[in-house]
Chains A and B, each alone.
Chain A
Amino acid sequence: MLQFDQVSFSYPDGPVLDRVHFRVERGAYEGIIGPSGCGKSTLMRLISGLLQTADGTIERGFERLGLVCQEDTLIDEISILRNITYVCNDPQTARRCLQLVGLGELPEKTRAATLSKGMKKRVEIARALSINPDFLVMDEPFSGLDHVGKFALIAQLKHFLAAIDTTFLYVTHDISEALLVCDHLTVLSARPARVLRRFENVQQADRQQLKQAIIQLLGHASCV
């Protein structure tokens, strides 16, 4: 589905990724964890094809990529329904996706600007789901949300994902978030990011032990 093979990437001010190697199987719920500023967003841009690299190879075995970014990417001036039809061009699908993320009761002409941060993220998730993605990437989607709002959304995320047949990649610096949704985790080092270790079937593992192992790998507790 997605394979990074010895991928390195540099900006003019220095290297960001250093021979990063990982593979995401079809249907997997995969997590990538690394400290803030390690190059996770660059990784996401490489996955989505917004950046190209000549150093290493990236195999993209998906057709429809859904994306939920860290920053707010709704068009504030138009309605929530239009924000979704903006990418899928089908009002019926847009309405169904709004229902799915729990915004079905909201008037569809509500302007995006009037929504709370949490609701905006829900609309962004609905927008990503509306194209029926076979690969869905979320890059620190809930940063900036309050603790309760964040974990309420994460708890519902698996329910949203179960509604579509997709492969899921969750990029975050927060171990607790990743452990709630992901089945496998790849841990990246500080910049330039290298793969430190991969953990399989984390849902079956002891969470406290896993957290300690990741903290030890990263050398500090900033990711918890």
Chain B
Amino acid sequence: MAINSKLTAALLLLGAWGLFALIVPGTFIPGPLATLKAALTLLTSKALLDILVTIGRTLTAFFISLMLAIMIALAGQYNTAVRGVIRELMSFIIRIPAIAAVTFFVLLFGTGQLTIYVSVVTMVIPVTVLSISGLYETINPGLTTVNRVYRVPFLRQALYLYLPTLFGAFEATFILSYSLTFKALIMAEFLGGLSGLGYGLMIQRESLDLEKLTAYILIIALVGFVCQKLLQGGLRLWTKRYAAI
């Protein structure tokens, strides 16, 4: 009988967690059952709204970041000088610690939506731009000639050339950008938000309710995982429908 590796890994993690909670006093690490109970209580109250808010923000911030990053990376393909400036700028921003960037934007804009979006987009764009720029270098230069001679519209290039040719690498960039968006967003909500899962985590930490705090961590991990799988599936479906054979 084939063993489902994902299920096995999840059961192993749960077992290790339960064992650890048995050894360490429950006041420090709540066990899986206590956490699940707290999570269910939270889901029937405020956490459900937090989940929806965070999912909405994640998707919005992710698409804004991805679109801007693609546009910036494209701008760099048409001019060597612009490409150099973009590379230096992105390489500088990428070195700024996320927590410093969020703190800076909290000082600049105060707590709220604007701080969250600006922080996330600022953190996600450099990684995505540098990854996408690297992808262009793997394209057959003869196809660049074809694009120019036949004046192929950009949308057609994106659908029939870039996506099918670079799909594997683009999917990796897509997942990398998404996971960074989600992590950055939770931190931005924690430090500069007034709603969302990150903000809820901060409230539970303030009240030192360990069961609810652990439940929030579990919910965040699950929401992050489910969102990634949904986006990844969506990208594959979309590519198959519009770009592939």
Contact = CB atoms under 8 A, between A and B. Distances in A.
Nearest to A70: B142
A49 B206 CA distance: 66
B145 interface: yes
Contacts of A50: 145, 148-149
A157 interface: no
A75 B245 contact: no
B192 to A, nearest CB: 43
A204 B152 CA distance: 40
Given A67-B146, A73-B142, A87 B152 contact: yes
B203 interface: no
Contacts of A111: 245
A89 interface: yes
Q: Which size bracket describes the interface of B in this complex?
A: 10 to 19
A48 interface: yes
Contact of A109 (B146, B160, B165, B245): B245
A200 interface: no
Contacts of A69: 142, 145
Given A73-B145, A87-B146, A87-B150, 16 more contacts: A45-B145, A48-B148, A65-B149, A67-B145, A67-B146, A71-B140, A71-B142, A72-B140, A73-B140, A75-B160, A77-B244, A86-B150, A86-B156, A86-B160, A109-B245, A111-B245
A71 B245 CA distance: 23
Interface string B233-245: 0000000000111
Interface string A35-74: 0000000000100111000000000000001010101110
Given A50-B145, A67-B146, A109-B245, A86 B164 contact: no
Chain B at the A interface: mostly helix, strand, loop or mixed? helix
A131 interface: yes
Contacts of B150: 67, 86-87, 131
B161 interface: yes
A79 B145 contact: no
Given A72-B140, A73-B142, A109-B245, A48 B149 contact: yes
Interface string A93-131: 000000000000000010100000000000000000001
A78 interface: yes
A94 B173 CA distance: 34
A45 B146 CA distance: 11
Contacts of B156: 86, 89
Interface in B189-214: none
Nearest to A131: B150
A82 interface: yes
